[in-house]
Structure 1
Amino acid sequence: MLRHLWMRTAAEVFARERPAQVLVSGDPKHPSACVALYAPPDSPGTLRLLGALDLGEPADLPARSDEALADLARKLWRLGVPVDLGHLPTDTRLISQLRQQKPAFAMIGLRTRDERGLPALALEGEWSDPAMAIGRRRRQSLARKRRRAEANFGKVRLQMIAPGPETATEDMDLAFAVEANSWKRRAGTAIIQQPRQLEFFRLYGQRAAKLGILRLAFLEIGGAPAAVHYGVEIDNIFWSLRVGYDERFGSVSPGDLLMFDLVKDCVARGVSRFELCGKDADWTRRWSNHSRPIAAVRLYPLTLSGFGSLAGDLTALGLRKTRWRQSKRGARA
């Protein structure tokens, strides 16, 4: 249900100019594997994995068997156009099947930067007691920050909301406003600065609210929202899809305080896993106990569009490397 909701919403928001193209292995009513692609306006002649690159999310394609993945890989190559699969886990079975099914002279672009993605926290074993799991030093550090927050701003508390469709838009807008009161606005990555992402998460959130799975976790300090997680909860798994904090409270690390309180709340309610999603970052490494190496994956078929796309990508890569070397020389000077 979670994947269907995500893909349906992504198709309506990102593929409105041209309908999404769905490749299916097996019975279309009960597919063994499938992938949805669309033609992005900013990259003519290329197909892009739906709901991944536009939302900054590494993806993996579920399949019932290796045979289904092999069939899907053959169908991807038969498209005869470049395909941008965004970031995939390097250990995914799809990559090995794409290599095995690759036609002669076609190419797979696999760019790695020692990146990892899909960080997650299994709420079992030592994490059944989060206070003990984080260790004495971090536990004491968070306790000091909580005391400082209460001394300087007021009471600290977790507010966990499962909005219904009547209040979902108002609650989500509050969450997006909190995210925007930080470095993300200066970097231009706050969701309110990205119209299509904002449209996606509002529509996705409304639909999740109707299903009763939308979750908004706020850390309130002195009655004001200081940090937020926007996510969904299904099958005892919490999926954190957007996070943010108000930098007015930055001195007391509201993001870490919220994460600790939220993990405790999830454990108390019997949630078995906390998915942090996206790519690994410094803050996710402090909390996750599992992630996967990822790589940017592109398919270049033996066609004019395939060679043209490869040439364009190699040129862009060369320019990025040149700028990087120039910046290094400038820094040394």
Structure 2
Amino acid sequence: MVLRVDDDVVAIAPLQRRLTLDGTLRLISEYDASGFRYADEASLRWLVDAVLGLRRPLVLTSLLAGSATQLMLRARLRHRPWVRWVHVWTMGPDAVIDATYADPTNSLVSSRRSGDGAAAASPVSSRWVRRRLRKAEQLGRVTFHVDPVEEDASDRFEELVRVEAASWKGRNGSAMIDDASQRETIRRFVSDPEVRAGARLAAMRIDGEPVAMNLVMVRDGRLWTLKDGFDERFASLSPGLLLFLHVLAWAHEQGLTRVELLGRMEAWKRDWGTGRTLHHLRVYPPSRHGTVAFTRDVLDIDKVRRTLRARRYARSGSPTT
């Protein structure tokens, strides 16, 4: 949704309509926790009122606590008879990229710097990293690449989809291969010429076969992690971490200063800093669409579907569409 005043764009809500009976609207730009784009407070208020005026279920999964969008939604919903469900969770940190990351096999020896500059102890050593690299090299030729996303990158994108499906995300049904809407949204996102200019696909390969992949974005002097996955058959090698260290070395070489570890806070991310509090907001209007969406979410039908897909995946040993 775009709000214009005298042909000037003053506010943008990048929303995707879910292809279901309820037509739920979901924020597309989940990589940016600040929410909607706006010129001033009045523009944000008009935009929020316009979005709510659509009377569609609304899902905003990663709103930074205390952000202008989060506060404005709370204020504009206060006197509306809408059902609200808020889940507060912690997002991964942002961390400084400095010279300690220049050598992927040695960077974990030094202490880490969190987003506020405080040092954090490292859980592994350079010996730990090199040992896993040697184990990987016993299986074949190991290579690491960070490449631009080409205009026709469908084959590389499908590799990312397959690798992610071979991880724990495939088992619990949260991978892109199980969510056509998510998969198509990300595909269209990286196909945009302006976005593609900053997008990078990173891969760790053994004899040419990808065992871990990352989709990252270079923006405003920072590295933003968007999608990642690794093949669980190689879990003992920690391929995801090995690839991430090589991506950080590449980012340092490019002169990037910080890395945004998007997604939920996980144990391994704590070594790069403290997380940020986010709100997962679901809003249901008093309408037919709101009733359908609320019923679906209460029954968690999507979770049942993901579980069934995961069981089929476990039985067949290959991803299912």
How high is the TM-score relative to the length of structure 2?
0.72
What SS does structure 2 have at the residue aligned with 1:112?
Answer: strand
Matches within 5 A, 1:29-44: 29-31=8-10, 33-37=11-15, 39-44=17-22
Instruction: Name the SS for the 1:74 alignment partner.
Output: helix
CA contact (8 A) 1:25 1:68 kept: no
For 1:97, the equivalent position in structure 2 comes to: 72
- Which of 46, 49, 68 pairs up with 2:26? 49
Give the distance between the partners of 2:211 and 2:297, measured in 1 at CA: 43
- Residue of structure 2 in register with 1:5 after alignment: none
1:72 aligns with 2:54: no
> Which of 169, 187, 193 lines up with 1:184 in the alignment?
169
1:221-232 correspondence runs (5 A): 221-232=206-217
- Tell me how far apart the structure 2 counterparts of residues 38 and 241 of structure 1 sit (CA, whole Å): 17
Closer, same or farther in 2 for the Cα pair 1:223/1:118, shift >3 Å? same
Amino acid at match of 1:164: E
- Within the candidate set 128, 133, 137, 1:146 is matched to 133
Does structure 1 retain, via aligned residues, the 8 Å contact 2:21–2:292?
no
The aligned counterpart of 2:148 is 162
Q: Deviations over 1:18-75 (max 9, x none)?
A: xxxx1526455332x221445534352x6413426xx899662233333332332333
Task: Decide whether aligned partners of structure 1 residues 67 and 244 sit closer, same or farther in structure 2, where only a CA change above 3 A counts.
Answer: same
- AA at the equivalent of 2:49: R
Q: Which one of 72, 96, 111 corresponds to residue 122 of structure 1? A: 96
**Residue segments in structure 2 that go unaligned for 5+ positions in a row:** 113-120, 304-321
Matching residue of 1:198: 183
Letter in 1 for 2:72: Q
Greater relative CO (CA pairs within 8 A, separation 6+): 2
Report the structure, 1 or 2, having the larger helix content: 1
Between the aligned partners of 1:247 and 1:257, the Cα distance in structure 2 is 14
Contact 1:108–1:299 (8 Å) recurs in 2 = yes
Once the two structures are superposed, what CA deviation does each residue of 1:113-162 show, in whole Å capped at 9, x if it has no partner? 5x112643332597788442445652232233223333x32454321212
Amino acid aligned to 1:187: N
Distance (whole Å) between structure 1 residues aligned to residue 186 and residue 294 of structure 2 = 35
Mapped pair 1:276 → 2:261: yes
Residues 18 and 26 of structure 2 are in contact (CA less than 8 Å); yes or no, is this contact kept in structure 1? no
Alignment CA distance shift 1:63-1:242 (3 Å): same
Query: Is 2:251 aligned against 1:266?
Result: yes
Give the distance between the partners of 2:170 and 2:294, measured in 1 at CA. Answer: 34
For the aligned residues, what is the CA RMSD?
3.7
Deviation at 1:81, TM superposition (A): 4.8
Seen in structure 2, the aligned counterparts of structure 1 residues 118 and 43 have a Cα distance that, compared at 3 Å, is farther
The answer for unaligned runs of 5 or more in structure 1 is 1-21, 321-333
Quote the residue 1:295 is aligned against.
Answer: 279
Counterpart code for 1:229: N
| Mapped contact 1:214–1:233 kept (Cα < 8 A) | yes
> Percent same amino acid among aligned pairs?
23
Relative distance call for 1:176 and 1:208 in structure 2 (3 A) is farther
State the Cα distance separating 1:169 from its structure 2 match. 1.8
Q: 2: CA distance between counterparts of 1:309 and 1:266?
A: 45
Instruction: Count matched residues.
Output: 288
The one-letter code of the counterpart of 1:160 is: V
Deviations 1:300-322 (A, max 9, x none): 55x555984797489559xx9xx
For the residue of structure 2 that corresponds to 1:212, the secondary structure is helix
Structure 1 segment 302-321 matched on structure 2, within 5 A? 303-305=286-288, 308=291, 312=295, 316=299
Contact 2:18 2:181 in 1 (8 A): no
Amino acid at match of 1:123: I
TM norm structure 1 = 0.70
